[in-house]
Structure 1
């Protein structure tokens, strides 16, 4: 890596480089992945364990061709909390298992019908903004974590938080422009370390998580219970995750310049995601999904190696048993991760724009302009619809709107009713 070159998907890297590259991926996903079990009231150790196992299974099932990290899914928080409050966490696990089975069933269906239908219902003018929304709808979270916007309960912005955020973001950006060789590949990790040091100097690091953790901590396994009522509450969220999964595979395909929907195939990646979710449910963990944070890391560093992703998975499994290690990572202040996320999410948004540029979308055509405009506004406006207890909004709702528009225009084209034929 004397020059800043692309590390391809199946390319191995020396251990001295692979370890920091893998740790970088772990840092990127950690804060979001442990937040879900915290919200649901369970130990994050079991989530870290199953995320790592799920990621290794994903790499195996996709034949090492699709670099992706499986982290805890946010889509299930709302329906899961409803089930937990009424029936208990065990019944939520039963719903997670059924959802994973649905993923696998859809994957098997896709294996036989193919993926050409995606180009029909999500043409580039629709897929581009949907992919961009994966990053753009998370922008407010990055700003909130960074402390640069007023949050609930605080009527002013803390300058210490802003300083840490700006320093972290500055080094993340500078790293993309100035770092050379191996340093350019671990620019995110360097930015996190520098941001953490600044936070220490400003006295805003909370060491409570480190003090309360023991050295060895066994993950808490919980057996699932099944209830039709709980299952019906949770399964609508599967639509959100399937839409998210397709979007993530498309944006990753753009980044690595390979069509992952066809090789190894959407059926393999979705089946792996479903199997991971099912196993997580049986072990007492939360559903998993491919993570945008790690996609952003790949976009920035140009390191696509599944060996690095696999190393991050192994490190996650290690952390699930070492309480002090996970506790130390938990002490990383929110502004540090906010500064890094600010850049990562923006890179994902830019990937969606790149998709439209590469596809040479013609915006002199009214249909393309209308489709992109409606999808962007749908995803960013805060509009939502409810299916049972599950809420569809942001990228997921925008994807549905895009599919409806794409299918409508396809049907109109088949009957030559559009003014393109005038």
Structure 2
């Protein structure tokens, strides 16, 4: 690495560097990626397995030309949580598969017509608040999971509060103060710090940890079959708008980092299809949806190591970890205050990502159109109103996304007929 400043996508890495560089990528995705199955209250072993397999499939479909790691998607948390509260996780799996299939179909549309039409259907003034709503809707869930909301007696357990504050502090200040290798894994460090604090405060019993460490060394991931429920699918399907936008943004950022136009070669249609196909097969075996991971893009930007070989090594390590019993058992013992502390930051980050879309899109609010669009989307998503169509209930981010699309299309039509008063 000293003799070669940049290790490009197709470059080979010496064996002496391959393992530590691959471990770095796995650590970068590990904390956030396993948090999703923990929130869904499922064993993360199958998720680690499918993240690794999905990443390898991504490389195969993109001909090894697009460096990316597929981790657990946070975009599905709000609608999937609602589906799980009504029916169960298996019904959510059916929705995951439907979104994956829709992404594959969208990839063919992009291959045929390009991507400009996306700005018409959901411009930045609507997409930004839709993405922000994912995090804002979950804010209360994070506090509830952490156990820091007043109970029936109006008090909060001080032990939960201590674990929550320690976890959140490491996550917040670690993002700002950690350097070099530790700057890549602040989430993982925060989870470890919160876990240790939970042991010292008694939130987590030592016996629970001992039982996890004595789990069988080799285990099979806990596969589950999906259940297809039309109402559940309709509630989750609008997430495709967020996932597609996130994927496009990641590919654009990665293109700038590696100084190659990945939207043209291997093509956005290939990378999006790979993302959707991975989400589909994950849903069929009981894992959560996958997405290209910003944490791993950050690792590439910092290390200037873009080699597919390195990221493939991280994927293989993730697959191996999924079969190690104590790893999955220990992850499941992470207490609520730790999960809540991490969620506070991550959910806020999702909300900030929506604001970033507005900023990066240079949305002009001096006119009435963008101001109206953003305002309506936010109010629809946060007001709690619901729309029932053929026994299918639309609410929150899902309803806001649909309303945003309808308004955007109407504004586009108004422009075509010259009716809009801010066309110029």
Which SS does the other structure have where 1:236 is aligned?
A: helix
Alignment equivalent of 2:397, drawn from 390, 395, 398: 395
CA contact (8 A) 2:190 2:342 kept: yes
Cα distance between partner residues in 2 of 1:140 and 1:117: 35
Alignment equivalent of 1:25, drawn from 9, 24, 29: 29
Cα distance between partner residues in 2 of 1:419 and 1:202: 62
Alignment equivalent of 1:336, drawn from 335, 338, 345: 338
Within 5 Å, give how 1:47-58 maps onto structure 2: 47-58=47-58
Structure 2 counterpart of 1:167: 166
Does 2:199 correspond to 1:197?
Answer: no
Partner deviation per Cα, 1:264-311 (whole Å, 9 max, x = no partner):
5553344223322443455x32462428xx546867996596777655
CA contact (8 A) 2:236 2:398 kept: no
Cα distance between partner residues in 2 of 1:296 and 1:211: 32
Alignment equivalent of 2:419, drawn from 405, 417, 420: 417
Partner deviation per Cα, 1:359-410 (whole Å, 9 max, x = no partner):
3221110111111111122222233335666654333332222211111111
- Measured after TM superposition, the shift of residue 186 of structure 1 is 2.3
Distance 1:135 1:312, change over 3 A: farther
Which SS does the other structure have where 2:72 is aligned?
A: strand
Which SS does the other structure have where 2:364 is aligned?
A: coil
Which SS does the other structure have where 2:422 is aligned?
A: helix
Which SS does the other structure have where 1:362 is aligned?
A: coil
Name structure 1 gaps, 5 residues minimum: none
CA contact (8 A) 1:273 1:288 kept: no
Distance 1:134 1:260, change over 3 A: farther
Cα distance between partner residues in 2 of 1:183 and 1:101: 37
Cα distance between partner residues in 2 of 1:255 and 1:134: 22
Between the two proteins, the alignment pairs up a number of residues equal to 404
Does 2:208 correspond to 1:208?
Answer: yes
Structure 2 counterpart of 1:272: 274
Cα distance between partner residues in 2 of 1:134 and 1:68: 22
Cα distance between partner residues in 2 of 1:92 and 1:132: 22
Does 2:247 correspond to 1:249?
Answer: yes
Partner deviation per Cα, 1:141-186 (whole Å, 9 max, x = no partner):
33233333247x7853211111111112212222233222222222
Cα distance between partner residues in 2 of 1:191 and 1:146: 14
Cα distance between partner residues in 2 of 1:308 and 1:350: 30
Structure 1 counterpart of 2:118: 118
Which SS does the other structure have where 1:249 is aligned?
A: helix
Larger deviation: 371-380 or 183-192?
183-192
Per the normalisation by structure 1, the TM-score is 0.78
CA contact (8 A) 1:132 1:353 kept: yes
Cα distance between partner residues in 2 of 1:113 and 1:360: 25
Does 2:134 correspond to 1:134?
Answer: yes
Name structure 2 gaps, 5 residues minimum: none
Structure 1 counterpart of 2:176: 177
CA contact (8 A) 1:142 1:338 kept: yes
- Measured after TM superposition, the shift of residue 414 of structure 1 is 1.0
Cα distance between partner residues in 2 of 1:6 and 1:124: 34
Distance 1:79 1:16, change over 3 A: closer
CA contact (8 A) 1:224 1:281 kept: yes
CA contact (8 A) 2:238 2:402 kept: no
Partner deviation per Cα, 1:124-151 (whole Å, 9 max, x = no partner):
2122222322333332333233333247
CA contact (8 A) 2:130 2:377 kept: yes
Which SS does the other structure have where 1:371 is aligned?
A: helix
Cα distance between partner residues in 1 of 2:19 and 2:125: 42
Per the normalisation by structure 2, the TM-score is 0.77
Distance 1:59 1:134, change over 3 A: farther
